[in-house]
A and B are shown apart, each in its own frame.
Chain A
């Protein structure tokens, strides 16, 4: 490389040439405040909303809302929406939408139920069949958008209608297939043994601490810009408190019947955690994930950089529908049955809402997996808390709609602000 033979002028060291001035803790906080004020808010509004909601419901229903039983409920209620939302993040990142994700989850749940009952398949084959169904639906959607060029809004609306019919045809009008397989039912109805819960929690925190410390040391030793050490430690401590705190609460007996003991983290929680870790890794650590952001940012530039844009688009739809398939299995497990309305009503809109409330942009190019988790938590808390307070479904929908409207306006306004201050 010919240009690298020219050393930087030593008299005027470049900010970029290795003599990086590492920011102090205070400077990092200041930078972050500037970033937020510049319109790059990330999940901050959603986290604030979550805190306000949790504190509000806790103040109104202190004995119930933060009880171990209700916290376990929250996870089980939020699992389906959050799982679909994680998949939707991929589609939203490339600036598209998947309106059919809800009924995709329903169709995959119906496939699972039929495979378990009519075909008498073991749970892993039925689970696999549900996932394959999701992959196939996603491939068809992705090819329609990327190759044929149908707007995603239209083709997924068509799929929304068609899949609704498919679920109805598979299950039969007014029908209901109940699931008896103990493994599938366990996902949403059984818990991780408390000791195992602690072990997994400690391992997760230790793994996070090890990777972030190693990466910090590696970057520091290469003279690259790093976050201050205190901030790295603070993040580890916050994560440890949240994870171990939740495990501690969920490991307490939450049974209302004094003869039976219910303890442990619901099995669906580590399932979602693993899915979130895998998807988060794909998005942030792999070239494929980088290309997803690039397609959302500037598809033409991405194409000129030699990236297969159509392939990336198709893959995102496949990931979204596959996550919907996982959600369909979780929903079937929770209800221990699949009915023709599986994945219908507000499931999809809640999931889109969750992603957007968490900070994923509807305009593409901006979003993270954690957005889906935080947004899913906000929606689950609203639904659960207002239910505890005895509000009707009508009021719940109005409030959820208002929160989504606020989130979408935060997205639009922060985008405008980001334009104005030059932070896309």
Chain B
């Protein structure tokens, strides 16, 4: 299951790479060495049991906490993200589980909230509306009746769509989705997963935090498993099976019967940045 060297066909560094990320909250070691590689055009699933550190990890990447130790490389360049606005400026957008939409505003207003387009001091409604329509159309969103309806009138899947569309409205390169299908029904989950796939196909790097193995195996190219604050492994989806991933989630290591890899915590980041074994 070791990933072949041509896994990175563009020959470019991954959009985001985290090496040995650590985060302590006082005496609590929330992250004790996490590694993550997210490439353009790919969906990277971030899985792990409750308390494994998924939320902490995305908050560190998004600049809400910042890592205490470890390296973060953005497009190959070492960066230090200590503030959410820095992350936004780089092109990192996070769609949180509770969506953060204003029910009393319409879709366009929500998509541009805090970053409104202006003509002088006046809002440029027409430009915002055209741009929002363009983005939704590029995501092949057709389920929304009118772009000017209040977000309150949307279904859970549509709200998720608006939140995701808002994340890609800016020149984002990395979109992190926190459990986007957790509260959705079957049909809407399917819609959102298709949208997630399209985001990656459009060239973005997508990190999908999920509990749901079905979702993960349906859309992810690569699966990063966290176990008790450490990265157990990052594997290619096509080279791994559901039972292997579940074993990684529950035990942090993989029995050698599977694809024949060594003990997980002794550096099993098989889906590494440039395809070769990291130093």
Contact = CB atoms under 8 A, between A and B. Distances in A.
B102 A285 contact: no
A14 B137 CA distance: 6
Interface in A274-309: 285-287, 290-291, 293-294, 296-298, 300-302, 304-307
9 contacts: A3-B204, A4-B138, A287-B123, A290-B116, A296-B104, A298-B103, A305-B114, A306-B85, A365-B103
A78 B21 CA distance: 65
B201 to A, nearest CB: 8
Nearest to B131: A4
A26 B102 CA distance: 30
Interface stretch (B141-149, B181-189, B213-221, B247-255): B141-149
A301 B100 contact: yes
B118 interface: yes
Contact of A300 (B100, B104, B139, B153): B100
A336 to B, nearest CB: 38
Contact of B104 (A286, A305, A365): A365
Interface stretch (A216-224, A259-267, A374-382, A394-402): A216-224
B113 A301 contact: yes
B18 interface: no
Nearest to A9: B140
B153 A423 contact: yes
A158 interface: no
Contacts of B153: 421-424
A304 B95 CA distance: 11
Nearest to A305: B114
Quick one: which of A3, A223, A291, A422 has the most chain B CB within 10 A? Answer: A3
Nearest to A361: B104
A8 B168 CA distance: 16
B192 to A, nearest CB: 16
Interface string A8-25: 110010111110000000
A225 B125 CA distance: 12
Interface string A213-234: 0000011001111000000000
A14 B132 CA distance: 13
B121 interface: yes
A6 interface: yes
Interface in B92-140: 96, 99-105, 109, 113-116, 118, 121-123, 126, 129-130, 132-140
Nearest to A17: B137
Instruction: Pick the 5 closest A-B CB pairs, nearest first.
Output: A424-B152, A305-B114, A297-B102, A17-B137, A297-B104
A7 interface: yes
B148 A8 contact: no
| Secondary structure type dominating chain A contacts | loop
B129 A418 contact: no
Interface in A389-424: 418-419, 421-424
Nearest to A363: B104
Contacts of B88: 306
Interface of A: 1-9, 12, 14-18, 218-219, 222-225, 285-287, 290-291, 293-294, 296-298, 300-302, 304-307, 365-366, 418-419, 421-424
A13 to B, nearest CB: 9
B105 A297 contact: yes
Given A6-B138, A286-B123, A300-B100, 20 more contacts: A3-B203, A7-B138, A15-B144, A15-B146, A16-B136, A16-B142, A225-B129, A285-B123, A287-B118, A291-B113, A293-B102, A297-B102, A298-B102, A304-B96, A306-B85, A365-B102, A418-B152, A419-B152, A424-B103, A424-B153
Contacts of A291: 113-114
Nearest to A364: B104
Contact of A8 (B101, B121, B138, B203): B138
Contact of B133 (A7, A18, A286, A296): A18
B72 interface: no
A3 B114 contact: no
Contacts, number: 148
A294 B152 CA distance: 13
Which of B104, B141, B148 has the most chain A CB atoms closer than 10 A to its own CB? B104
Find the residue from B101, B113, B132 having the highest chain A CB count within 10 A. B113
B126 A305 contact: no
Size range of the chain B interface in the assembly: 35 or more
B113 A302 contact: yes
Nearest to A301: B100
A285 B114 contact: no
B202 interface: yes
Contacts of B171: 1-2
Contact of A16 (B137, B168, B169): B137
Contact of A14 (B101, B121, B136): B136
B142 A305 contact: no
B151 A424 contact: yes
Contact of A3 (B103, B121, B139, B152): B139
Contacts of B147: 16, 225
B150 interface: yes
A284 B163 CA distance: 23
A225 B109 contact: no
Contacts of A365: 102-104
B244 to A, nearest CB: 32
Contacts of B102: 293-294, 297-298, 301-302, 365
Nearest to A93: B104
B199 interface: yes
Contacts of A301: 99-102, 113
A213 to B, nearest CB: 14
A293 B150 CA distance: 12
Contacts of A421: 153
B157 interface: no
A286 B115 CA distance: 12
B84 interface: yes
Given A294-B113, A305-B113, A14 B135 contact: no
Given A290-B123, A294-B113, A306-B85, A14 B142 contact: yes
Nearest to B204: A2
Contacts of A5: 138, 202-203
B22 to A, nearest CB: 25
Contacts of A422: 152-154
Contacts of B114: 291, 302, 305-307
